[in-house]
Amino acid sequence: MSEEKRPAGAELVAGSPLPGEDRLEETLRPTRLEDFIGQDKVKANLRVFIEATRKRGEALDHVLLSGPPGLGKTTLARILSEELGVEIRGSSGPVLDRPGDLAGLLTSLPERSILFLDEIHRMSSNVEEYLYPAMEDFEIDILIDKGPHARSVRLHLNRFTLVGATTRSGLLTRPLRSRFGVECHLDFYQPEDLERIAHRSSRILGIALDREGAGEIARRSRGTPRVVNRLLRRVRDFAEVEGKGVIDGPLARHALERLDVDERGLNGMDLRILDAVVRRFDGGPVGLDTLAISVGEESDTIEEVHEPFLVREGLLKRTPRGRVATLDAFRHLGAAPPGARGPGQDRLL
């Protein structure tokens, strides 16, 4: 991903050592539900489920968190552990290659603890099937020995909560999805919520941020808190080195232009994707793999990171034949749509 992302399989246990930027990112994460800004419906529902779980003294039902990258799925998993007062351990779907990898995690989980699996849609099928009885009956079968002496031993597990996070919920199999009792979908954030996040993070970072500066950062943050915090940290550098230690509107605009983030939040790769569709492929349609080769980026990254924002902004459309640029995309790049050109007219307006 182009956005900052924790390496697959990284432990989520509090207190683990982190490098400088990652440690700073950790300090910006809220640890209580009341401090989590935005996603009001998701928070309200989780508050009910947490309180009911506390009253019954049970493990929380399994939770599926879905939505684009950077919206707070990992943060919500940590908040659940804090609110319930239980331990959280974590891994990711691609890391769990064999059932034995999963068995080691499951058998070591304390009672009512949380197992967080990021990118759960990328879990291999044999590991996924091994997970079913663990989620449903809190039991797993372990094969001992090999050949004619092989035998299966059933182990009982402590009751736990699986919190799965996915950016592509459509890739989850029906049997796996049906075993989650709670499903929460996180949407892109509104600018006013992103401004509140920017102000909260600026207080933690110890940098002065005025309303205009927060608005500039929020508008260019792609509806994503992770991007807000990343841009805020970089704009803070400009404020401390080239400014007066205060992030105001002019300083924010100057810094964000230097960072190649335009007024709508498009970064360099976003613009390369649009430029390829508009100018190289005459507005499309163009297939995803062809587009990926054209801009020198992985197709998965385009599909999971860049496309959701470009589609949401009304700059790109997905069609059965491929990706198509909208009229707004032509206008944003200063290019004339094919039907609007006269004989011999260049594409640039």
Query: Using 50, 70 and 90 to split pLDDT, how confident is the model at 99?
Result: confident
Query: Using 50, 70 and 90 to split pLDDT, how confident is the model at 217?
Result: very high
CATH number assigned to the domain comprising residue 159: 3.40.50.300
Q: Judge if 170 and 276 occupy the same domain.
A: no
Query: Using 50, 70 and 90 to split pLDDT, how confident is the model at 5?
Result: very low
Q: What is the pLDDT of residues 223-248, one digit of tens each?
A: 999 999 999 999 999 999 988 889 99
∠ CA 260-263-265 to the nearest 5 degrees?
65
- Identify the pLDDT of residue 1: 39
Work out the average pLDDT over 190-202.
94
- Identify the pLDDT of residue 227: 93
Catalytic residue among 53, 167, 224, 326: 167
- Residue 69 placed within a domain: yes
- Per-chain mean pLDDT for the chain: 85
Q: Judge if 61 and 175 occupy the same domain.
A: yes
Range of the domain at 26: 20-185
Q: Judge if 164 and 298 occupy the same domain.
A: no
Beta bridge partners of 324: 317
- Residue 318 placed within a domain: yes
Selection from 216, 224, 227 nearest residue 250 by Cα: 216
∠ CA 35-40-44 to the nearest 5 degrees?
90
- Identify the pLDDT of residue 23: 63
Selection from 146, 147, 177 nearest residue 162 by Cα: 177
Q: Judge if 138 and 47 occupy the same domain.
A: yes
302 HSE (CA, 13 A, CB side):
24
Beta bridge partners of 89: 115
Please state, in angstroms and rounded to a whole number, the distance separating the CA atoms of residues 262 and 102.
44
- Residue 208 placed within a domain: yes
CATH number assigned to the domain comprising residue 247: 1.10.8.60
- DSSP letters, 163-224, are EEEES-GGGS-HHHHTT-SEEEEPPPPPHHHHHHHHHHHHHHHT-EE-HHHHHHHHHTSTT-
- Residue 1 placed within a domain: no
Sign of CA dihedral 328, 331, 333, 337: positive
Work out the average pLDDT over 253-269.
91
Residue at a domain's end among 258, 286, 312? 258
CATH number assigned to the domain comprising residue 317: 1.10.10.10
103 HSE (CA, 13 A, CB side):
16
Domain count, the chain: 3
- Residue 344 placed within a domain: no
- Residue 2 placed within a domain: no
Selection from 127, 50, 46, 49 nearest residue 91 by Cα: 127
Q: Using the predicted structure, report yes or no on whether residue 97 has a pLDDT greater than 90.
A: no
Judge whether 260 counts as a catalytic residue: no
Query: Using 50, 70 and 90 to split pLDDT, how confident is the model at 348?
Result: very low
Q: Using the predicted structure, report yes or no on whether residue 341 has a pLDDT greater than 70.
A: no
Q: Judge if 239 and 309 occupy the same domain.
A: no
Which tokens hold the place of 214?
């927060």
- Residue 342 placed within a domain: no
Q: Judge if 30 and 168 occupy the same domain.
A: yes
DSSP letter, residue 306: I
Q: Judge if 219 and 103 occupy the same domain.
A: no
Q: Judge if 85 and 133 occupy the same domain.
A: yes
- Identify the pLDDT of residue 144: 65
- Identify the pLDDT of residue 96: 86
Query: Using 50, 70 and 90 to split pLDDT, how confident is the model at 104?
Result: confident
Which tokens hold the place of 285?
């349609």
Q: Judge if 37 and 173 occupy the same domain.
A: yes
Query: Using 50, 70 and 90 to split pLDDT, how confident is the model at 81?
Result: very high
Specify the higher pLDDT residue, 334 or 19.
334
Judge whether 22 counts as a catalytic residue: no
Query: Using 50, 70 and 90 to split pLDDT, how confident is the model at 145?
Result: low
Residue at a domain's end among 232, 258, 284? 258
- Residue 78 placed within a domain: yes
Q: Judge if 63 and 118 occupy the same domain.
A: yes
Residue at a domain's end among 162, 185, 208? 185
Judge whether 226 counts as a catalytic residue: yes
Work out the average pLDDT over 111-138.
90
Q: Judge if 36 and 178 occupy the same domain.
A: yes
Query: Using 50, 70 and 90 to split pLDDT, how confident is the model at 28?
Result: confident
Catalytic residue among 122, 200, 220, 226: 226
Q: Judge if 154 and 181 occupy the same domain.
A: yes
